[in-house]
C-alpha cells in the first residue's frame, strides 16, 4: 500500500461526508469534519479535494472557515489553490429548462428544483411516487437541449449538466497538476453520479470506495458516512492517512 505522502484524496459530499437529507438544504455536517480534513490536507501535502455536484459556494459555507480544492457541479467548476481554474459556460437553453422544471415543481407537492446556474437538478425524494414522471420530464428536456447537455441521474434526483463535465474528467485533470500529480488517487463516493469518478480512478490504478450498497465499479465499500467519518477523524488524530486506512472498516 502507498504511504500518506503518495495519496491524493478525492471526496464526494452528499451521502459521503454527510447523510442524504430529505431536501438539499437540510444536510448537516459533523463540525469535527472540516478541521479534520484540514489536518489531513496538510498530511497529504495539500492533495485533498472535494468532488461534488454542489457548487463551490455551498461547499465553502458547509466547511467554513476552511476552503478546499474543489471540483464542483460534477466537474463543471474547478477551483485549485483558491482560484477558479475552469468553469463551464451557462448553456443558453438552461433558463428555458429551469422554467419548465419550476412549472412542474409548482404543480406537484414534494418536487424540488435546485438551480445551480451552470446546472439544474430536480429532486423527488419527498415524492417518490413521482419518480417516473420526473425522469420522463428531465429526459425530454435533455433531448430538447441537445448534445451540449448531459442528463446525470442519481439517488432521487436527476440533473442537467454541461456535457463535457464529469467527476471523472475533473479528477483526471487534477491528477495532472501539483500537488496531485504522481500520487495514488483515492476517490470516495456513494451514488451513480460518482461512477464516472470511479471509472477514471480505476483507469489510473487508484483506489475507489463506494459508501453503502448498490452496483458499482468501486473496488472497496464502506458501510456509511458515519463509518467514513470515523476513519477520517482517527486518521486526523494520528496525523496520517494511507490507502490501507480504508481497508480497516
3-state secondary structure of 6: helix
Helix (H, G, I), strand (E, B) or coil at 112: strand
* The three grid cell numbers given for residue 55, joined into one nine-digit string: 457548487
* Cβ neighbour number for residue 100 with a 10 Å cutoff: 17
Q: Is 105 helix (H, G, I), strand (E, B) or coil?
A: helix
Q: Of 12, 69, 190, 191, which is the active-site residue?
A: 12
Three-class DSSP category at 72: strand
- CB-count burial class (<10 Å; 0-12, 13-18, 19+) for 11: buried
Q: How far apart are CA 169 and CA 98, in angstroms?
A: 26
Answer yes or no: are the C-beta atoms of 176 and 137 closer than 8 Å. Answer: no
Q: Specify the DSSP element, H or E, that contains 149.
A: strand 149-154
Q: Which three cell numbers stand for residue 75?
A: 466537474
Do 93 and 109 contact (CB within 8 A), yes or no? no
The reply to whether 12 belongs to the active site is yes
Beta bridge partners of 69: 49
Rounded to 10 deg, the angle between the 131-145 and 94-106 helix axes is 160
The set of catalytic residues is: 12
Amino acid at each position: 500500500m502507498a504511504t500518506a505522502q503518495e495519496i491524493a484524496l478525492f471526496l464526494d459530499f452528499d451521502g459521503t461526508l454527510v447523510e442524504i437529507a430529505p431536501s438539499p438544504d437540510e444536510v448537516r455536517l459533523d463540525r469535527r469534519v472540516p478541521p479534520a480534513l484540514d489536518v489531513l490536507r496538510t498530511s497529504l501535502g495539500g492533495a485533498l479535494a472535494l468532488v461534488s455536484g454542489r457548487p463551490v459556494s455551498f461547499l465553502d459555507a458547509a466547511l467554513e472557515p476552511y476552503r478546499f480544492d474543489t471540483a464542483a457541479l460534477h466537474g463543471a467548476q474547478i477551483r485549485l489553490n483558491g482560484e477558479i481554474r475552469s468553469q463551464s459556460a451557462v448553456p443558453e437553453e438552461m433558463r428555458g429548462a429551469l422554467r419548465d422544471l419550476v412549472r412542474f415543481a409548482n404543480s406537484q407537492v414534494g418536487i424540488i428544483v435546485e438551480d445551480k446556474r451552470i446546472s439544474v437538478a430536480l429532486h423527488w425524494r419527498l415524492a417518490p411516487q413521482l419518480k417516473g414522471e420526473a425522469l420522463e420530464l428531465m429526459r425530454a428536456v435533455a433531448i430538447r437541449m441537445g448534445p451540449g447537455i448531459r442528463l446525470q441521474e442519481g439517488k432521487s434526483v436527476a440533473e442537467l449538466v454541461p456535457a463535457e463535465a464529469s467527476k471523472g474528467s475533473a479528477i483526471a485533470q487534477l491528477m495532472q497538476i501539483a500537488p496531485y500529480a504522481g500520487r495514488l488517487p483515492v476517490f470516495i463516493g456513494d451514488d451513480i453520479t460518482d461512477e464516472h469518478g470511479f471509472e477514471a480512478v480505476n483507469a489510473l490504478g487508484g483506489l475507489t470506495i463506494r459508501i453503502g450498497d448498490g452496483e458499482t465499479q468501486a473496488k472497496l465499500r464502506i458501510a456509511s458516512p458515519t463509518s467514513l467519518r470515523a476513519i477520517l477523524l482517527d486518521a486526523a488524530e494520528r496525523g496520517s492517512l494511507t490507502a490501507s486506512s480504508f481497508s480497516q472498516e
